[in-house]
Amino acid sequence: MDAAERKVWITGSGRCGECHEKMFDEWETSAHAQSVSSPLYKTAVASAKDATCERCHAPLAQVAPRDIVVTEGVTCDVCHTMREIKPSVDGGSWQLAVDDMVKYGPRCDLKDHYFHRMGCSPEHKEAELCGSCHWWEPKGVPVFTEYADWKAGWAAKEGYPCQSCHMPKDKAALATGSPVRTGVPHHGLLGKAKDLRATALALEMKLDAQGALAVTLTNKLAGHAVPAGLPERRIVVRARLEDGSGTETWHDERALGRTLVDANNAEVPFWKAVRVASDTRIAPRGSQSMTFTVPMAQAGSVEVDVVYRGLSDAIAKQLGVTDVEEQPMTKASIKLGGGYPKTAKSGKK
């Protein structure tokens, strides 16, 4: 059939949302809904000058090049038409079943509806669906490794797919007017309260009388290394000293993550990189430790804040990005004075 004559059954998310309001509201504020419109993605594509980025960021462009739905990126009709899903080190492959009005989902006992028929897909409960986009090592450079990390780690062995953490379940109606069911997945992908980042890490620290501050971060929850995703993501550990009145008198910081470099060993974004220079991500159920030297005082406190940062400082500078996303992950505090060593843990006062 001629591409122009082919009838493609794809629908904008707004139409799906008329019946599936819960999923729409959750998806709308997720990163998936911004996968072609995010300012960072636009900046990156302009720099990479690569036409193949859309394969994962706007997969519907493969079947409907000019359709308005394409601009919604990783939208409802991407995931709910995906078949023959195969993750691979070169970026996965899949077919989009858009030649018929069937929407594939995890249940196999739903009655067809006039708007669309129901496709039975146990694959929607499996990590491979996510892993088809979330694993890519072009020319041997590890870019997205969530699926590979997961597969090699405890979460795969113990039977927890991506969905078990990223799509927590509610009791709800799947569609307006349908019965309330259990096990309905949240579509925000960072937890019901967008709290996955805030629960991922445990922090422990110890301060001795000479001011050596040892900080250990443990990846207690994520089924893959942290930070995950884009190699340019960072976990920043910020230590500061406050005097008795709460005024900051000293600070220092360390960043954890992967550094990719070009042939001249300069830190570059992934599309210009030829190899990994260093990797200080925290492995699943693994730890990373570091030491700060604190100029000791008689009173006040040492505060440690751990934050997620969307880009490393060097890459943000190269790309001219000034408003880098930040989100708090965990923190702890130690009061000065009295006996040493002193210890503290996140989640405790």
Closest CB 162 distance from ligand HEC, rounded Å: 3
The distance from CA 278 to its chain's CA centroid, rounded to whole angstroms, is: 20
Residue with the shortest CB distance to ligand HEC: 229
Closest CB 301 distance from ligand HEC, rounded Å: 27
Give, in order, the Cα–Cα distances in Å from 237 to each of 21, 146, 240, 252, 263. Answer: 39, 22, 10, 9, 29
Stretch near ligand HEC under the rule CB under 6 A, chosen from 163-171, 238-246, 250-258, 341-349: 163-171
Strand ranges for the chain from DSSP E = 82-86, 93-96, 102-105, 117-120, 169-173, 180-185, 201-207, 212-219, 234-242, 248-256, 258-261, 275-279, 287-293, 301-309, 326-335, 342-345
Among 145, 207, 218, 233, binds ligand HEC (CB under 6 A): 233
Assess 307 for contact with ligand HEC (CB under 6 A). Answer: no
Single out the residue of 185, 156, 154 nearest to residue 169, CA to CA. Answer: 185
Residue 255 half-sphere exposure, CB side, CA atoms within 13 Å? 16
Stretch near ligand HEC under the rule CB under 6 A, chosen from 61-69, 147-155, 253-261, 332-340: 147-155
The nearer residue to ligand HEC, 89 or 212, going by C-beta atoms, is 89
Closest CB 12 distance from ligand HEC, rounded Å: 8
Got the DSSP string for 214-280?
A: EEEEEE-S-SS-BS-SSTT-EEEEEEEEE-TTS-EEEEEEEEESEEEE-TTS-B--GGG--EEEEE-
The amino acid present at 288, given as its one-letter code, is Q
* Contact track, ligand HEC, 170-209, x by CB under 6 A: ----xx--x--x-xxx-x-xx-----xx--x---------
The nearer residue to ligand HEC, 215 or 222, going by C-beta atoms, is 222
Assess 79 for contact with ligand HEC (CB under 6 A). Answer: yes
Residues 250-279 that bind ligand HEC (CB under 6 A): 271
Residues 50-69 that bind ligand HEC (CB under 6 A): 50, 53, 55-57, 59
Assess 217 for contact with ligand HEC (CB under 6 A). Answer: no
Assess 77 for contact with ligand HEC (CB under 6 A). Answer: yes
Assess 27 for contact with ligand HEC (CB under 6 A). Answer: yes
Residue recorded with tokens 């113990």: 158
